[in-house]
Amino acid sequence: MKESLPKGYKPWIVASVAVLVLSLIMLAIAVTEAFIAFQQSATPLWAVALGAISVFGIVAGFGGLFLLMAFAGYRTFREARKVQVLPPEHPAHDGPGTSSAR
């Protein structure tokens, strides 16, 4: 059976996970800043922008992983449905009812 994802897709998986991890780190920074600035009258604009960008990054990271896993599942499903047709085997001996004379 073939592998579900070709080796060429490994960089896409690494990139998707990297975007996801970096976005989670950015979200943690934005949430921490929001808690620190909670006593102020307003949250800094950079913290709001960083939070919004990190949410888009999380969506992109999970979306990329979902697409890659859906592609792998489709390839596995398609590979499992293939039917191998074997040619019929004919016995090498001459049994009753067969004629070897030509």
Task: Judge whether 43 lies within some domain.
Answer: yes
Please, are residues 24 and 55 in contact by the beta-carbon 8 Å criterion? no
In a domain, 89, yes or no: no
Average pLDDT of span 18-29: 94
94 lies in some domain: no
Residue 66 covered by a domain: yes
What distance in Å separates the CA atoms of residue 64 and residue 5, rounded to the nearest whole number? 14
- The model carries a pTM of 0.68
The total of other beta-carbon atoms located within 10 Å of residue 72's CB is 16
Give domain status of residue 86, yes or no. no
What range defines the domain where residue 24 resides?
7-81
CB 25 within 8 A of CB 50: no
Number of domains in the chain: 1
pLDDT tens by residue, 64-82: 999 999 988 888 888 888 8
For 5, counting Cβ atoms within 10 Å of its Cβ (0-12 exposed, 13-18 middle, 19+ buried), the class is middle
